[in-house]
């Protein structure tokens, strides 16, 4: 039986691990509020694993404030945050819907509808001043219910960077979905999320798994998938 962290002192009881990125120092849990019994998602950031600086936590207070601004029906609401011995945790609303990675067959018309929905969410984020960049768009971070209602999840933290708001280095992007500017440590732009969305749509149209999408890239980081559609 797996041992889950004890967050009862903070008002939460963990019931399940939803995802793990040890390289990035992130573990995501399904939990319940002890007072309301409401299901929530807790993302634990472990600075020691991610080679981050705990002393930088105070800087993240401003970033957490940015997350609190997100009021959109297709983005899980920020609920809470708290410090731990090894880092800190973010608590968000739980959306009961599978991710795109869990459903492998979509019609072209369904893919089009999903793309439009995500673009509308990105438009909302980019209308902030400065714009908000998600930085880790991929099938696992897009939930879709039986009515094709789309939700964008796993925002992590936001950091001011080059005049724009982007996820911190703790929540780096995923290989195959990272735009070239991120791979070469160049400033992100509002187009960075569009690149990741494009890679996501290629996965849906070709039936390619997220862990294999980087195999479709050539030496110039262009996707080659003509024979798969």
Q: Which of 6, 51, 136, 193 does the annotation list as catalytic? A: 136
Q: Do 157 and 85 contact (CB within 8 A), yes or no?
A: no
Per residue in 200-214, pLDDT (tens digit) is 999 999 999 988 888
Residue with tokens 């459903």: 103
Whether 3 is in a domain gets the answer: no
The total number of structural domains that make up the chain: 2
Per residue in 45-91, pLDDT (tens digit) is 876 655 555 455 555 676 677 788 899 999 999 999 998 888 889 99
**In a shared domain, residues 27 and 110:** no
pTM for the model stands at 0.85
**In a shared domain, residues 48 and 149:** no
Per residue in 92-122, pLDDT (tens digit) is 999 999 999 997 789 999 999 999 999 999 9
Domain ends where: 93, 127, 152? 93
Given a cut of 60, whether residue 134 has pLDDT beyond it is yes
Given a cut of 70, whether residue 228 has pLDDT beyond it is yes
User: CATH code at 139?
Assistant: 1.10.510.10
Q: What is the dihedral of CA 136, 133, 80, 25, to 10 degrees?
A: 40
**In a shared domain, residues 52 and 132:** no
Is residue 51 part of the annotated active site? The answer reads: no
Q: The domain containing residue 114 runs over which residues? A: 100-228
User: What pLDDT is stored for residue 62 in this prediction?
Assistant: 65
């Amino acid at each position: 039986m797996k041992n889950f962290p004890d967050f009862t002192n903070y008002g939460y009881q963990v019931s399940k691990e939803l995802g793990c990125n040890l390289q990035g120092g992130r573990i995501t849990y399904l939990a319940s509020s002890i007072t309301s019994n409401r299901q929530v998602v807790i993302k634990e950031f472990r600075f020691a694993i991610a080679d981050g600086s705990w002393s930088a936590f105070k800087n993240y207070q401003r970033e957490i404030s940015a997350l609190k601004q997100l009021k959109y029906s297709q983005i899980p609401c920020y609920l809470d945050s708290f410090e731990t011995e090894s880092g800190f945790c973010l608590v968000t609303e739980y959306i009961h819907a599978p991710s795109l990675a869990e459903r492998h067959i979509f019609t072209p018309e369904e893919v089009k509808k999903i793309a439009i929905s995500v673009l509308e969410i990105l438009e909302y984020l980019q209308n902030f001043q400065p714009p908000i960049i998600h930085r880790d768009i991929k099938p696992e971070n897009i939930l879709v219910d039986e009515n094709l209602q789309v939700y964008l999840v796993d925002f992590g933290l936001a950091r001011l960077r080059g005049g724009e708001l982007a996820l911190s280095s703790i929540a780096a992007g995923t290989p195959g979905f990272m735009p070239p500017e991120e791979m070469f440590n160049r400033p992100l732009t509002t187009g960075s999320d569009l690149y990741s969305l494009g890679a996501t749509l290629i996965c849906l149209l070709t039936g390619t798994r997220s862990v294999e999408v980087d195999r479709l890239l050539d030496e110039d980081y262009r996707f080659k998938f003509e024979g798969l559609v």
